[in-house]
Structure 1
Amino acid sequence: MSNTPRDVSAIRAPRVEVGDHGLRLPRIGLGTASLGNFLGAITDQQAVDTIQRAHTRGIRYVDTAPLYGHGLAETRTGKALRDVPREDLVVSSKAGRLLRADAPRDESQYVNGEPFYTDVPDTGPVWDFSYEGVHTSLAESLDRLGLDSLDILHLHDPDDHYEQAASTAYTALRDLRAEGMVKAIGAGMNRTPVLTRLVENCDLDLVLLAGRYTLLDQSSMADLLPACRAHGTKVVVGGVFNSGILLDPSPRARYDYVPADAAIVEKAQRIKDVCVRHGVPLAAAALQFPFAHPQIASVLIGARSVPELDMDLDLLEVVIPDSLWHDLRASGLLPDDVPVPSGPLVTSPEGSVR
């Protein structure tokens, strides 16, 4: 890797056509949950610096959501990018939760009594997948972002709200796309059953899947990815490090945002051992792995600081030998039918990504 951080233009250059409404999606994006004080508070300036560093290094796709920091991530994103030409950016956000001062406590946003998001504004998320709720959510997101429109609007975590998500919420998304308020519509989730049903029954351009297509967990190959291929739906992958266990598979590691159990830690450590034998950082293999699947349009990096962002982007330059993937398969750590990268990630001056 170079001592001087370079931009990722060569990697982001071959944008992927998504849907039929003019969206061309970069291969690399920045996820902003951590920039909304997820699992620890950061300053506004640290968040802004991280987003601006991502832009300096060539990232032109930013994903956010009202839930992330209860509005903090959207506000910080808007502040960081306010002087960037709008045509130079792809911005996605989500709908399904409205931020309200009288919101009841949502236990799904706590673990062991502690909230996932700390030091956030005095509002909380309220579920709302109604037609009006989606329109209101978009209007409030645009206000926090300082934008007139979005490139992508996802339904956010409708696991327990499928009927409303597939009816009133989807109708709202479809109408917003027709009106030009968004270019593409989708859904973002951590689990695949409901996401698969939405792909099968709604005209979604793409989906955002966190944690279920990673070096540690390819469970989406059983349902979601085949459905996306059948319906021409592109996939954005988030959570490539599975909450950090694919950075450091120690007994203290998290998986799916909570402390990992011993079996998961043991499997991650075995993957790391193979990587070490080949002189490859575990994190580099984890970050590059999803690009090999033909349905994957983009991969999100979730850095919370400039040094972390630089580290993640430098991992894209690590050359991973084909023998590493062979050994992971031979060890039973990857199924034989899972696509794996072959050769350097950047394979031509134009920046083809395989």
Structure 2
Amino acid sequence: MVGDNTNPQPVVGDNTKEREQRSPLLPIRHQADFFVCDVFDAAVKGDAASMEHPIFSLSKKPDMKPRRYENGSSWVEVRPGFKGLATVFDRDILIYCISQLMAALNDNRTVSRKLRLRAHDLLIATNRDTSGRGYLQLREAFERLQSTQIVTNIVTGGKETFDVFSLIDRARIVRETREGRMQEVEIDLSEWVFQAVEAQEVLTLDRRYFQLAKPLERRLYELARKHVGQQASFKIGLEKLRLKCGAQSTLKEFRRLLQSIIDDDAEHNHMPGYRILLDGDMVEMRGKPGNETTPPPSIYRLQEETYAQARELAPGWDVHALESEWRSWCDKKKIRPGWADRHFMAFCKRRGKYPGFKV
């Protein structure tokens, strides 16, 4: 059951060509105009500490194995609950909560560790199934997040303390439908997660993160997002990368899995934002200049002054995150603007009219 919500749809028949051309990304389950839908207005955010350290399991089956990871003076132990360790797909819930809190902080609203959310909005925003099974899997994710114990000395908010905690302190269904399906839930975040939000130790994520089907793809994207930053690239040894990913496979199997993702990305360009290269026992992560697949090259040739003007039109926003959304929106709507710079600035101007939702 763990992670089943993220399985790609099977290909009907035995059409080899169709299988080869099929994108590794999960389909976008919920079509929404990014200009209108409030659920998508809060920028997707993840806390930097759990992006750095292997907190979440990569397994789609119940993972009952505790693990410890050390990095310099920092260390973290992760201990499973009755239903196993929290998974990278369970992390979607924390990402959604952190995104809502950051949007509120940017709007100068008071925030607290207790959030009341509509379950349907959470499922839509994280590209999850909204059937009865989707709600059941959401309930199980809450259980794993609450029962997984973290023991660590990781610094958040400038403080280093020995701490034992769960990722969420509590999840409670506030309101249900007549059929017993959850409508509203209350989530109490752990103090550790909330401290990271208050200290703004968070990073903006590409929305296509929720379309990545493989747990390892999601983990690799998190590490690239955390470490590449403004650098041209980030290099790391294969064995150290395996440990940072939290992979339980052998080094040989990890190499095979990594090479498979690299090959898929070379064919489909599905990994958001970053390209991964494997050379012997060294791995290099590089930022991509842009999605180079569907739209014609003219859309991606934005002038440098366009970015400066975009920041004025949408103050407080991350223009590169906006550019990524603009590209996706153009692709989804099959828009081919003749003047890419003007079209992008119009997009930013519309975004600037939504006060309170800054990146």
Give TM-score, length-normalised by structure 2.
0.27
Q: TM-score, normalised by structure 1?
A: 0.27
